[in-house]
Amino acid sequence: MSDEKNQTSCRPAGPAQAGAARCGNAFKIVFVEDDASVRESLTETLELAGFQVCAVESAERALRQIDGDFKGIVITDVRLPGMDGLALMRKLTHTDPDLPVVLITGHGDVPMAVQAMREGAYDFIEKPFPPQRLIESARRAIEKRALRIEVDALRQQLADQRGVESVLIGNSPAIRTVRRQILAVADSGADILVVGETGTGKELVARCLHDHSRRSHANFVAINCGGIPETLFESEIFGHEAGAFTGAAKRRVGKIEHASGGTLFLDEIESMPLTYQVKLLRTLQDRKVERLGSNDAVKVDFRVVAAAKTDLRQLSDQGKFRSDLYYRLSVALVHLPPLRERKEDIPLLFENFVLQAALRYGRDAPAIPQDQLRQLMAHDWPGNVRELRNAADRLVLGLLRSVDDAPLASDEAPQALALQMDMIEKALLEQALRQFDGRPKQVYEALDIAKKTFYDKVRKHAIDLSQFRCRQGADADPEEG
């Protein structure tokens, strides 16, 4: 143990000197050198320049310091016992082509340097060399590494946001919060409970969590816990062996096993019988399943997203849902707001659903009259987004003359008239801005309101005009902003 400690030294960065790399403290250097005195000397040189250094004596030990999330660079001598520096470089760049590897040798020649650079070496330093040569090479390599990681992170963030925003549509604070929560926990691997009324989009959220996780390549398996007969529940969920019961002619892989490597979506989890909740809990804890008719446990690796229409904690307090299962499922909670609490999203959602329906049915997308938009905004939408989508389908099919074609009864207390009028006003402004690509003059002329009134209302409703423009500076107005 003491020998390994002497040969491997991973220490935090020392005091940064003038001109030290700005990212020297954030990115680690794995430094490989078998000569103990040279290793100690160059490690000190790098640390005095402000870098965090992990010094090891062999390529094999270096590989132990580098995992899939390694954010740093590698500096290695070419001549090493066992695996040499060139072989180490090839192995590392094969796994991560963007990882900068700097090679050092006292026995190098021009052909070796050329070959190393062709195979992916970031730099090639021949001994003897001044300390500043090593420091500058390390600084440039780390800056390149930091830039690549930053660009990749931004690209992924933009791709994720476009993906989530294209599924969970809306600009209300409530839906923005949901999107942020999804992106925050999607790749965490934690089990998640999604709570929301019927039609709010719980399965869409579950699919977003799956699609934006590292499990997206595997199966997304959805189970309606209230739609499986109790007599078939165990066989469907856990699977069975041939001959396990009458009619079981061959082995069947259950839903949980089918979800291994991916995501298991348990919809309407509150409707699962208590007797099966016990078996599910054990499976969630052990991540193993036993098929009916078998004594062998099969390991499964899956992520659970459960959905409920009601408060499971309240049901568990009433003895109608197992509290231990509730706490096992609710590592993270996502609450979906009902449509009546984000009415400002209705125009954008409805326009999107109309376009989708027109494409699906091979029809032209009809224009949405202002009076019909006001009816949409005034409706309570007890069926939430699903009901709104159905209304869009009926409009495209020519079956929707008004929202009165659908039942309007609601047990909810009506919102204050002023609040409803504000939401309708904001929605009309945003619809006009989308229609005219964010051009203020065309909007206030089309709405027949004064220029000052338009800008007063924009400020009142905190509308960001830039998000409606198709091109930068379109029809800019000096009073804007």
Judge contact between 254 and 233, C-beta under 8 A: no
The DSSP output letter for 125 is E
Chain position carrying tokens 């476009």:
162
Residues forming a β-bridge with 240: 252, 292
Residue 476 has pLDDT above 60, yes or no: no
Asked if 170-337 and 340-415 have one fold, the answer is no
CATH class assigned to 340-415: mainly alpha
Does the structure show a pLDDT above 80 at 419?
Answer: no
Q: What's residue 241's pLDDT?
A: 87
Residue 39 CB partners (closer than 8 Å, separation 6+): 9, 31, 33, 55, 57
Single out the residue of 145, 146, 194 nearest to residue 168, CA to CA: 194
- pLDDT bin (cut points 50, 70, 90) of residue 152 is confident
User: CA–CA separation, 450 vs 431, rounded Å?
Assistant: 18
Is 213 in contact with 263 (CB distance < 8 Å)? yes
Check: CB of residue 167 under 8 Å from CB of residue 204. yes
Q: Strands 52-56 and 9-11, how do they pair?
A: antiparallel
Q: What rounded mean pLDDT belongs to the chain?
A: 82
Work out the average pLDDT over 4-17.
Answer: 50
Question: Highest-confidence range of 160-169, 325-334, 469-478, by mean pLDDT?
Answer: 325-334
If you average pLDDT over residues 437-455, what whole number do you get?
86
Residue 206 has pLDDT above 80, yes or no: yes
Topology given in CATH for the domain delimited by 2-149: Rossmann fold (3.40.50)
SS3 content of the chain, % helix, strand, coil (to 5): 50, 15, 40
Distance in angstroms (rounded) separating the CA atoms of residues 251 and 244: 9
Name the architecture of domain 170-337: 3-Layer(aba) Sandwich (3.40)
- Which sequence spans correspond to the domains of the chain? 2-149, 170-337, 340-415
Token pair listed for 102: 């700097």
C-alpha to C-alpha distances, 325 to 172, 198, 414, 426, nearest whole angstrom = 33, 22, 37, 43
User: The tokens 């963030």 sit on which residue?
Assistant: 157
Tens digit of each residue's pLDDT (9 = 90 or more) over 329-384 = 989 999 999 999 898 899 889 988 988 888 888 888 887 777 788 888 888 899 99
pTM: 0.56
Q: Kindly state the average pLDDT of the residues 318-322.
A: 92
Q: Which own/partner pairs from 171-175 qualify as long-range (CB within 8 Å, at least 24 positions apart)?
A: 171/344, 171/345, 171/348, 171/430, 171/467, 172/337, 172/342, 172/344, 172/345, 174/337, 174/341, 174/342, 175/337, 175/342, 175/345
Q: What are the tokens at 9? A: 């030294």
Check whether 18 has a pLDDT greater than 60.
no
Rounded to whole angstroms, the Cα distance separating 418 from 414 reads: 11
Task: Identify the pLDDT of residue 472.
Answer: 38
User: Are the C-beta atoms of 223 and 272 separated by less than 8 Å?
Assistant: no
Place of tokens 């490690």: 43
pLDDT attached to residue 417: 59
